[in-house]
Structure 1
Amino acid sequence: MNRETLTEFLKTEFRQVAGMFAIDDVGRDRVTVRLLHDERHLRPGGTVSGPAMFALADVSVYLAILSMVGPKALSVTTNCSIDFMRKPASGVDLVCQARILKLGRALAVGDCLIYSEGMENPVARASLTYSIPPAPDS
């Protein structure tokens, strides 16, 4: 799947989050996704909340997998580890660079670096494992 088909997939199959994210780039085994700045993603003190950063990492790896295996909507997260390393800048989008490290028949493993737009160093790092549903004839 490419940028356009992934964007359309979000709009039709995952409407709950479609307006929160924009897909910047799709490449072989990787995607770049942005969390669009919105007050609802902020925690007290005005910084982006951990759950919003988790959502960015989770959706980014999901999209990276779909870009490789096609529109398998039932792929689900089975594990996630996330490190919050520094406070994001305020008032800007977060950008996630996700890549797939292993794509098997049943499991996919990916990692992410999350940047605050305009900052050189990442604000978070995540590692995720996804379960991929079996093919209908399996």
Structure 2
Amino acid sequence: MSLQQTTPEYLDQCRAAQRAEQERSLATTDNWAHVDKPKVHADFDAFYKELAPLIDANAPESEVIQALMDKHFAIVARFYVPSRDAYVGTALFYADNADMKAFHNTYHPRMVEFLGDAAYTYALQNLQ
């Protein structure tokens, strides 16, 4: 499953869901005061370092990658538990934001694209 196979309307719906859910969460949690941000950053770093060497040898929908995506979703959910569309929107944010794209792609040149497809698969299979 690939984000490139979806419609532009669906992608816009996911972007809107991510923005709305994130804004709601920020407003109700004093800008994520409950989140241990250094721990989250360290856990994201460890996740990306675990994922990067698997990208060239695995498909985003493979069992090994989808098992790893449980970790990614759990880290994201420390901020707020995103809906299916908002989780896909998070992956789109990584691609749409130049700084986020550059950051993620330091781990692997295809990280953002691969992570987007992996998150899309994960969302369709696991989220409402």
TM-score > 0.5, shorter chain as reference: no
- Normalising by structure 1, we get a TM-score of 0.30
Q: Which has the higher strand share?
A: 1
Which structure has the bigger radius of gyration? 1
